[in-house]
Chains A and B, each alone.
Chain A
Amino acid sequence: MIKWEIAWLRRITNYNSKICIPMPTLEIRELSKAFGGNRILENISLGFSGGGLTAIVGLNGSGKTTLLDLLCGIASPDDGDILVNGHSILKLPMHRVFQLGIARLFQDIRIFEELTVLENVMAAMPSERYNGLVSAIFMRPSMITNEKHREIRANQILKAVGLRIRASALGGNISYGEQRLLALARLFATNSSILLLDEPCSGIKTKLAENLLKTARDFTQQGSIAIVVEHNLNLVAKFADSILVIAKQGIHEVSQSMIQDGHSLAALIERLS
């Protein structure tokens, strides 16, 4: 049984934080993106602030993952702007977008398979000072001390998501469900204030999926923003603070009651049109 210790998790992940912004803001202005003449997103404008979990739902090909790709700097929009705490992220490479506080969980997990579970989490912890070539040779004592602190934090995060016992296993040797949890642990290890989760619950059991989304939502209670792309409307209705539906007509905010009515996603989109 996985023990979820959220308050504690928040405390340890904010430990010694340099980049965590207490109340981040994310603003999307008239964003458009097309692939080969096929308009995927058109004039999308959204604002996120003050924390909370926002779910984005939509049919396949409606542009959910594209929106996350634009938000984390993998792709560039054709038009519009994205502002993180007032700073535009357009033209910034992905690693610089991360430094502004945006971290991404990929749909296809992207675990470092030949690294241990512990190393996977430690690799996600930002540390400009001790990641260099010079510090590896000439600053060993302070680098080793820093590594010990990182290891303690990484172990605490793994304990919180129930993977402490698998810390020394290779990332490629753990089960699919455990890899999903590891991906979430890595996301928490980044200390980022804006979390983008692309279908974090796909392919895992409902109970685990509920725990995973609950963790993500609780993580946002102190001001972080989590944006989750998810297909399962029941899960969305249960855990999301706000729900956005992407359709050809644009992006719409819907109430939880609309989803709880038991409509399918297709029916919901038809109602909105």
Chain B
Amino acid sequence: MTYILHLIIIFDIFTILCLSLNILTGHLGLFSLSHALFYGIGAYTVSLLMLKLGWPFIISLIFTVIVGGCFGFVLAKITSKARDADYILITLAVQVIGYSILINWTGLTNGPFGLSGIPRPVFGSNALTGSGLALFSTVLMGIIGLMLKMIQDSPFGRTLKAIRENELAATSFGVDANAFIRKSTILAGALAALAGSLYAIYATYIDPSSFSISESILFVLILVIGGSGNIKGPIIGALIVTLLPEALRFFNITANHAAEMRQVIFGMTIVLLMLLRPHGVAGAYRLE
């Protein structure tokens, strides 16, 4: 039962992360490689607020979402004139710089040793564990999915797609593309930080290795596998990536080799998808 709950929570976290990345990558066509950093900012912010300042979980969570949004605003400002390859390179640089700060600012983050003993949220007199945490993360994921579906089907969502398809044409129809990209990046940053908060209170221990460039690449791969530009693509991608390592258990592969096998299977899946289904399993937009 605990194992199933673990899978549910990891799936919820991946889904929130990839839905937030989908705002940038799927709807706007901006290939961001700094999403793990926002995830990390969320995890560290909520942990520090709860550990060092003793703030209650809900207040810490709200503050963390705001912090994530603020960092999203900063990223949007930095990348305001960058598109395509320039955007990828800048987000890569931001990820690398941010990761270095997480590693080296030991006074705040405890460096590579990370932060341990992160308290679980307490509702009433009980700490949220197991099924309670799974229910909480699933409800949160459902609300976010619904909210993003509403955005996708609104004039705002249509405008994002118009910017993705042809920014100059969209601008010629009175669209302030930078303002739309800025709002979307704030939203994506806030939601990624929220996913980081969930991870921190679930794992109760965080260190910078969970927020490295390889994690950013993994999130993009989830979108490549599941598909992007809609809601179901990232959800299916998160489901595949959550269940794939578990499937390896049935093939008697030792834990030492499971990580390598996962990489091999991811690689093969991506090659096959590129050849047979470039939109991903359930996507509406082909990443270019």
Residues of A participating in the B interface, judged by any CB pair closer than 8 Å: 72, 74, 93-95, 98-99, 103-104, 106, 110-115, 119, 122-124, 126-127, 130-133, 135-137, 140, 143, 146-147, 150, 171, 186, 190
Instruction: Report the separation of the CA atoms of residues A250 and B192 in the bound assembly, to the nearest whole angstrom.
Output: 57
**Does A136 contact B157, Cβ atoms closer than 8 Å?**
yes
Residues of B within 8 A of A143 (CB): 154-155
Q: What residue in chain B is nearest A132 (Cβ atoms)?
A: B156
User: Given A74-B168, A110-B168: A119 and B158 within 8 A (CB)?
Assistant: yes
List 22 A-B residue pairs with CB atoms under 8 Å apart, sorted by A's residue number: A94-B168, A95-B175, A98-B171, A103-B172, A106-B169, A106-B172, A111-B165, A112-B161, A112-B165, A114-B229, A114-B284, A119-B161, A122-B155, A123-B158, A133-B183, A133-B187, A136-B155, A136-B157, A137-B147, A137-B150, A137-B151, A147-B155
Are B159 and A131 neighbours in the complex by a CB distance under 8 Å? yes
The answer to whether A114 and B151 touch (CB under 8 A), given A98-B174, A136-B156, A186-B173, is no
Q: Is there a chain A Cβ closer than 8 Å to B285's Cβ?
A: yes
Contacts of A114 in B (CB 8 A): 161, 164-165, 229, 284-285
Contacts of B170 in A (CB 8 A): 112, 123
Q: What's the nearest-Cβ distance from chain B to residue A196, in Å?
A: 9
Chain B positions within 8 Å of A95 at CB level = 171, 174-177
Instruction: Give residues in B with beta carbon < 8 Å to A.
Output: 147, 150-151, 154-159, 161-162, 164-166, 168-177, 183, 187, 229, 284-285
Partner of B172, one of A104, A115, A133, A137: A104
Contacts of A112 in B (CB 8 A): 161-162, 165-166, 169-170
Q: Is the pair A130, B172 in contact by a Cβ cutoff of 8 Å?
A: no
Measured CA separation A100–B208 after assembly (Å): 50
B104 to chain A, nearest CB (A): 36
* CB <8 Å contact, B150 and A140: yes
A99→B147 CA distance, assembly (Å): 30
Kindly provide the distance from the CB of B165 to the nearest chain A CB, expressed in whole angstroms: 4
- Give the distance to chain A from B200, nearest Cβ to Cβ, in Å: 27
- CB neighbours of B172 from chain A (8 A): 72, 94, 98, 103-104, 106, 110
Known contacts A122-B158, A136-B155: A94-B171 contact under CB 8 Å: yes
Kindly report which residue of chain A lies nearest to residue B186, judged by CB atoms: A133
Q: Which residues of A contact B284 (CB under 8 A)?
A: 114
Please determine whether B151 and A133 come into contact, CB atoms closer than 8 angstroms.
yes
